[in-house]
Structure 1
Amino acid sequence: MQPACHPRSDPQVNTQRARHPLLFRGAAILLGLSLLVLLEIALRLCGVQPLPDSQDPYISFSSDATLFIKDPAGTSYQTAPERIDFFRPQAFPVKKPADTFRVFVLGGSTVQGRPYAVETSFTTWLKINLQAAEPERDMEVINCGGVSYASYRLVPILRETLQYQPDLFIVYTGHNEFLEERSYGNFKQSSPIYLTAQKSLRDLRIASLLQRILPDTQSKISAAPKTVLTADVNARLDFQKGLEGYHRDLDHRRDIVNHFKYNVRQMILLAKQADVPLVLVNPVSNLKNCPPFKCEFQNGLSQPQQDQLIACWKAANDCGWNEADRKMQLWKEAVRIDHQHADLLYSVGKTCESLQLYPEAKNWLTKAKEEDVCPLRILEPMHVSLLELAQEFHVPLVDIRSLIEQRTPDGIPGSEWLVDHVHPSIKGHQLIADTLYEKLVTLQLLPQPADWQSNRDQLRLAHLNSLPEEYFLRGALRSRRLEGWSRGRSQKIPPTSTQSFMQ
């Protein structure tokens, strides 16, 4: 007869007891995670939104100068004198009159109406549209378009204008992100997995709740060293040899694209936090009549490969249109050697356009824009960011790029609606204003009476007739100067430094 085992010495009993703590811990972890998931779902259902950051983790500014100051009488806000080099003078009452509809429009030189000015910007045509819809109301459309202003410079302006009792924000941005020199060194040292996880955590409503309870945590997170920019823009192309400073840098380009999305997200969250409607605009670029601003051969291309590419290029240019098939064959042979040379891609696109292969031409011309070493036109990933953010936060978006494509016979944006690489014609600004007005009607922010169009046309004509001939001559002169600027012909001496770093 076998002796009875003591319970403590029974291997089966010991194994079962060892399993129980593990099962208990696992169940506790699952329960905790389930509670967090339920809390996250409950917060989302209750309408809790992510909070905007109190500071930009990428850059800061050397001073906190405001865009608007009170006039000597203290009755109106006006554009600060030190900002007039970048903004056009604007004014509005400190005490907002009853039944006033106050709109702030933020962006760069397109918002300002360049190469002309505010008088023919879509902001002025929008004000006319609003007046035509409700003549009895006081309509204020305040133009906050800053020359060369990128999205990261618009966030402080939106934050400032929240105190001026806005009824609506409109944001048109994306073309100026590459104008100023800045570094993303701290973020380059972080792995993509870490940055993705950080973004995902920031979007959690639980994180928003904690940020409300512990507001000091954000300032600690934002205390890392970062690029410090001057109060106003120091665009590289404003100075001698500015174009020479642009080189292909895919990592830096990715960082700028990410920063753009971050800034637009910040503006959306700031407006939502204040319960002020915000409308995004998806900008348009000139694809068809704007060669790239700077080109470089693909990295790693040998000298023999460069010589072969140039030979194909020259042979393609020498081919007449009666040899169109041979011309395209040579272009495609050149592209097989280097698929990143923007001028080459543009030439292929223009050839397709001449052959009336419009969808193919649009594809090549878009590639040429994307490979431009000096990107003065919004990049495709930035278009995607605008559409994604509009969908994620249920923000209305006016897709001007798609609208211009639809209104252009060949579907390729060009000089039909644009006077240069990004700036719409006066007719283009009127189209933008009409589309914005229609969006506001859809959002039930404004009515559309039966006589709206006739009222609008009368007001438009009266406004155009009030502008002197010199206004249009100055616009034409400014357009020629802008062309020289974009091609790196500025003669200004650059400052010793346009940026510094927080220690």
Structure 2
Amino acid sequence: MRLVNYGGNLELFIEAPGEYSDYYMCNPSVARRYFFMQNTVPDPPNDLFLKEKTPNGYRIFVVGGSTTAGYPYANNILFSRILQFRLQDVFPDKKIEVVNTAMTAVNTYTILDFIDEIIAHKADAILVYSGHNEFYGALGAASSESLGRFRGFVKLYLKLQQAKTFLFMRDVVGLLRKWLSDLLYEGDVTKPSATLMERMVGEQTIPLHSPIYQVGRQQFEGNLRDIVNKAKEAGVRVIVSELVSNIRDMKPFLSVSTDSLPPAEEVYRHAAQLEREGKFELAKKTYTRAKDLDALRFRATEEFNVVLRRIAEEIEIPVVPMKSYFEKASPHGLIGNNLILEHLHPNIDGYFMMADAFFDVMHEEGFVSERWDSRRIHPEAYYRENWGITELDKSYADLRIKILKGNWPFKPKSVPNRALIDYEPRTKADSIALKVWIEDINLERGHVQLAEHYEKLGQFDKAYKEYKSLIYITPHNVSPYLRAAHMLIKARKLNAALPYLRKSLELEDTAFANKWIGQILLDRGLTKTALLRLEKAAKIRPQDAQLIYNLSGAYALNGQFEKAKKTLKRLEKLQPDFPGAQDLKRQLDSLNK
């Protein structure tokens, strides 16, 4: 089996392709370790990190499920990416790498399986936001991808799957399970029209404190303890975060009553009544109780926060008080649609808040360095106001949420999902968002198409913002930096273009960036520095008439008149009628009279 590489490479980290071969990236196929009942599987974000860690490097790995993966947004709204930019601003002398390994529908089993590989790649810190998927995430106690309720057996499975023969046997069993699923459950586990959220549910009804609930809680506690202990033994610092969810505006999915517990729906209605009466603190406790009583376990109970805080205290690691951040930003402390899109995924403001919360704890606990230069710490609002986000990002996320809410458990399984049928694009961004979804092109291409649309209309500022968004989606790609700068140049905002041009040179030495940096510096009167840039650009692109003209002028401004004349002769061969060339020639000739 190993000779034919059955199952492909399922390592967590692989060499990045092409021009990024100096980097590692998360393996897009790594989820196949855990999903053997699904035809399509989730993949992690597109973070890169250097194969050879620099002496000034600080490497952070971020682990978790769909919230940590930024659902329903693209990679520009990852809280980990926002955090990386914030940390890099505070520590410009360090190479800050933040690698997000999160995926939709995974839980602490996946993180535990990842931890040795993360440690082996010279982690300095690990940030954990996980717990909502313990029941229905891959290998979870009530998941369609479950291997049973005995944690020791699942851990053994995770070790055995490294053998190709075992993988083959697993997949044969998986095919049989799919066949039985289609026969017994009408294909709910694998049907392509269902969301992954729907397909992952194996056992729906899990009353609070029931035997299967206890299995999920113990699974979370045991796995989290193992994760933290492994990291600590390796000298890697860990931060765990409290879990947050929508308690006010998301009623329980499944209400059941037991001999000792009231129906969740009844408790939720009582909470709403308490809120109407102005009894907000009691309403918060009651909304939270209703969420915990929800027998369809897509939201972690408060007991999970108690567990993670207890583990953190025992092992002496910091906890992010995420609930207090969200409560302080919510009217009367009731977390709802103001920060959460549906049951638990934050909106854009919520993801920025998550980044702020982790940043604050890292600051308080002296991560990266004991000393933080407070003069380099920008206020939280600075990043929210200056980040690369456009209407396309919002439209695409809104469409994904509409599709999610059009399916079970938000709607009965008998009701067809009309999200796409009823969707009426109102803007160009809406139309492209729909195109991205239907035609299965990536959102990056959507941003380029929208930018090109704006450029044709002469709306260069709007085109620039699309490329700015792309910078935050693919920060290692030089193209969006150059295109963003180009749009600013066309909008005659040369000073605003300069930072993008300079940043692009850190990724690739291009004629375009050197040329325009040289031109902008010439306009500022910095003739010597400008000349160096223009000379470099001319070596890369000797046939660029505009560049050669600028270079001739730069030589003249630096008093190098013979070089200016020689360069002008080059221009005459390239383009004899170049505008302004004759005037420059007359000026140079007059210097010899």
TM-score category, normalised to shorter length: 0.5 to 0.7
User: Amino acid of the residue matched to residue 103 of structure 1?
Assistant: I
Cα pair 1:78 1:91 within 8 Å, conserved: yes
**Shift in Å at residue 157 of structure 1?**
1.5
Q: Does residue 81 of structure 1 match 2:41?
A: no
For 2:311 and 2:338, the matched residues in 1 are separated by: 30
Matched residue of 1:366: which SS? helix
Structure 2: where are the runs of 5+ without partners? 1-6, 31-40, 137-142, 153-158, 160-169, 175-188, 418-593
For 1:136 and 1:162, the matched residues in 2 are separated by: 24
Cα pair 1:248 1:296 within 8 Å, conserved: no
**Shift in Å at residue 435 of structure 1?**
2.1
**Shift in Å at residue 402 of structure 1?**
2.5
- Give the 5 Å matches for 1:305-454: 339-445=261-367, 446=369, 447-454=371-378
Tell me what 1:292 maps to.
252
Matched residue of 2:271: which SS? helix
- Give the 5 Å matches for 1:127-276: 127-179=84-136, 180-181=143-144, 182=146, 184=148, 238=196, 245-248=203-206, 250-276=210-236
Cα pair 1:105 1:123 within 8 Å, conserved: yes
Cα pair 1:240 1:488 within 8 Å, conserved: no
Q: Percent identity?
A: 24
Q: Structure 1 residues 262, 388: closer, same or farther in 2, change over 3 A?
A: same
Q: Structure 1 residues 102, 186: closer, same or farther in 2, change over 3 A?
A: closer
Cα pair 1:174 1:378 within 8 Å, conserved: yes
Q: Structure 1 residues 70, 167: closer, same or farther in 2, change over 3 A?
A: same
Q: 2:11 aligns with which of 66, 80, 84?
A: 66
**Shift in Å at residue 400 of structure 1?**
0.2
Q: Deviations over 1:234-292 (max 9, x none)?
A: 79963878768412351010011001000110110110111010000011111101111
**Shift in Å at residue 455 of structure 1?**
7.8
**Shift in Å at residue 424 of structure 1?**
1.8
Q: Structure 1 residues 486, 175: closer, same or farther in 2, change over 3 A?
A: farther
Q: Structure 1 residues 407, 274: closer, same or farther in 2, change over 3 A?
A: same
Cα pair 2:105 2:196 within 8 Å, conserved: no
Q: Structure 1 residues 427, 248: closer, same or farther in 2, change over 3 A?
A: closer
Q: Structure 1 residues 156, 239: closer, same or farther in 2, change over 3 A?
A: closer
User: Amino acid of the residue matched to residue 132 of structure 2?
Assistant: H
Matched residue of 2:101: which SS? strand
Q: Does residue 279 of structure 1 match 2:201?
A: no
Cα pair 1:132 1:455 within 8 Å, conserved: no
For 2:112 and 2:304, the matched residues in 1 are separated by: 17
Matched residue of 2:97: which SS? strand
Cα pair 2:198 2:409 within 8 Å, conserved: no
Q: Structure 1 residues 341, 183: closer, same or farther in 2, change over 3 A?
A: farther
Matched residue of 1:109: which SS? coil
Matched residue of 2:248: which SS? coil
Q: Structure 1 residues 288, 406: closer, same or farther in 2, change over 3 A?
A: same
Cα pair 1:178 1:374 within 8 Å, conserved: no
**Shift in Å at residue 175 of structure 1?**
0.7
Q: Does residue 102 of structure 1 match 2:79?
A: no
Tell me what 2:403 maps to.
481
For 1:281 and 1:170, the matched residues in 2 are separated by: 8
Q: How many residues get paired?
A: 354
**Shift in Å at residue 107 of structure 1?**
0.5
Q: Structure 1 residues 239, 376: closer, same or farther in 2, change over 3 A?
A: closer
**Shift in Å at residue 409 of structure 1?**
3.4
For 2:356 and 2:372, the matched residues in 1 are separated by: 12
- Give the 5 Å matches for 1:121-132: 121-132=78-89
Tell me what 1:463 maps to.
387
TM-score, normalising length from structure 2?
0.54
For 1:408 and 1:158, the matched residues in 2 are separated by: 35
User: Amino acid of the residue matched to residue 247 of structure 1?
Assistant: T
For 1:427 and 1:418, the matched residues in 2 are separated by: 9
Q: Structure 1 residues 185, 427: closer, same or farther in 2, change over 3 A?
A: closer
User: Amino acid of the residue matched to residue 294 of structure 1?
Assistant: L
For 1:294 and 1:244, the matched residues in 2 are separated by: 15
For 2:199 and 2:78, the matched residues in 1 are separated by: 31
Cα pair 2:149 2:215 within 8 Å, conserved: no
**Shift in Å at residue 451 of structure 1?**
2.7
For 1:118 and 1:154, the matched residues in 2 are separated by: 20
For 1:262 and 1:397, the matched residues in 2 are separated by: 18
Q: Deviations over 1:397-424 (max 9, x none)?
A: 1110123223333122212222221112
For 1:365 and 1:394, the matched residues in 2 are separated by: 31
For 1:274 and 1:474, the matched residues in 2 are separated by: 41
Cα pair 1:109 1:147 within 8 Å, conserved: yes
For 2:66 and 2:238, the matched residues in 1 are separated by: 20
Q: Structure 1 residues 96, 373: closer, same or farther in 2, change over 3 A?
A: same
For 1:442 and 1:137, the matched residues in 2 are separated by: 19
Q: Deviations over 1:169-197 (max 9, x none)?
A: 00000111111243655589xxxxxxxxx
Across the aligned residues of Structure 1 and Structure 2, the Cα RMSD in angstroms comes to 3.3
Q: Structure 1 residues 407, 460: closer, same or farther in 2, change over 3 A?
A: closer
Q: Deviations over 1:428-474 (max 9, x none)?
A: 2222212222211222224432333448765554432xx44322211
User: Amino acid of the residue matched to residue 262 of structure 1?
Assistant: G
Tell me what 2:557 maps to.
none
**Shift in Å at residue 68 of structure 1?**
1.6
Cα pair 2:46 2:75 within 8 Å, conserved: no
Tell me what 1:222 maps to.
none
